Copies of this chain bind each other. A is one copy, B any other.
């Protein structure tokens, strides 16, 4: 927005008309080579830079996409944001971002605002009602990430598969009683995980799943989940996400339990800090960056379709076995005698 030099300035200086300048800049051979050369030189000297705003106005599109996340500080969403930004860049698009602060009611206002300003929207883990989402989708192109809504494009990994891999891992290690520490009430992805649990558990011999309830990750929810997990008699816990798993681990250790010796812990997502604790966290990696990229591709296939649709991006989930899981070593459902200080 700081540019004062316009096509007209360049035109005047190069002794041509404004349209010729425009042409020279937009195409290779719409203008005589010599003229073009001169125009380009003048433009260069004057430091001319076309205004994307004006271009957008005439073209009816801004080459900008909107990204709405619940919390940009959450590692999952900043990972998605990174993927979105990278892919958008490759496609020549800018990204304007909005953070709803987990506020469902603000989400819709923010989304509308973004729509007025962009060519399309990527909405992550929306808590909006299906009606609201549909309405949004009517107002402009929308791609949902980590959420589905009938009639609206979406991108997501197989959440069922994440818990399947986690549970199978624990089962293979010998665990037969596993606790699940769920995410916030009303979380769409928590529901998905629960469904995965329900469909996986029956296939595994002798496996018993205890639902610990809903918890708020990042706000101490993991603490209470940890205590419930121990009281439940389970030998392992699967957490809604890595944050909660980390909280659980920390709480267990403070209460004097050893991980994984006394209790195994598995998270989901593989955020960076999962690998920075000791023991490092066993978790199921979730393809967050790729989700960002895929969302951009899907959105642009709607907004700016090409002859060949943009390539699909694989969204593999994968177990990452680290140190927080091992075979159950204590007699199942028997509490150890915890030292009451943290173990060092």
The interface of chain A, by Cβ under 8 A from chain B, is: 1-3, 47, 49-54, 56-57, 60-62, 64, 71-73, 75, 78-79, 81-82, 85-86, 94-99, 101, 112-120, 139-141, 218, 243, 246-247, 249-250, 253-254, 258-259, 261, 272-273, 276-280, 323, 342-344
CB-CB under 8 A from A140, the residues of chain B are: 1-2
CB-CB under 8 A from A57, the residues of chain B are: 51, 53-54, 57
Q: How far is the CB of A91 from chain B (nearest CB, A)?
A: 14
Contact in complex: A62, B53 (CB < 8 Å): yes
Contact of A117 among B53, B276, B279 (CB under 8 A): B53
Q: Could you give 10 example pairs across A and B, Cβ below 8 Å?
A: A1-B140, A53-B62, A57-B57, A73-B78, A94-B114, A96-B96, A250-B278, A276-B277, A277-B277, A279-B342
CB-CB under 8 A from A243, the residues of chain B are: 272, 276
How many angstroms from the CA of A72 to the CA of B258 in the assembled complex?
34
Contact in complex: B82, A99 (CB < 8 Å): yes
Contact in complex: A277, B78 (CB < 8 Å): no
Contact in complex: A3, B73 (CB < 8 Å): no
Contact in complex: A259, B54 (CB < 8 Å): no
- Residue among A52, A72, A140, A250 with most chain B CB within 10 A: A72
CB-CB under 8 A from A254, the residues of chain B are: 278
How many angstroms from the CA of A85 to the CA of B96 in the assembled complex?
10
CB-CB under 8 A from A113, the residues of chain B are: 94
How many angstroms from the CA of A273 to the CA of B217 in the assembled complex?
12
Task: List 8 extra interface pairs beyond A53-B53, A95-B96, A97-B97, CB under 8 A.
Answer: A1-B62, A1-B116, A52-B117, A94-B117, A96-B97, A250-B276, A259-B344, A279-B344
- Residue among A1, A82, A120 with most chain B CB within 10 A: A1
CB-CB under 8 A from A218, the residues of chain B are: 272
Contacts A54-B57, A97-B97, A277-B276 given; indicate if A116 touches B3 (C-beta within 8 A). yes
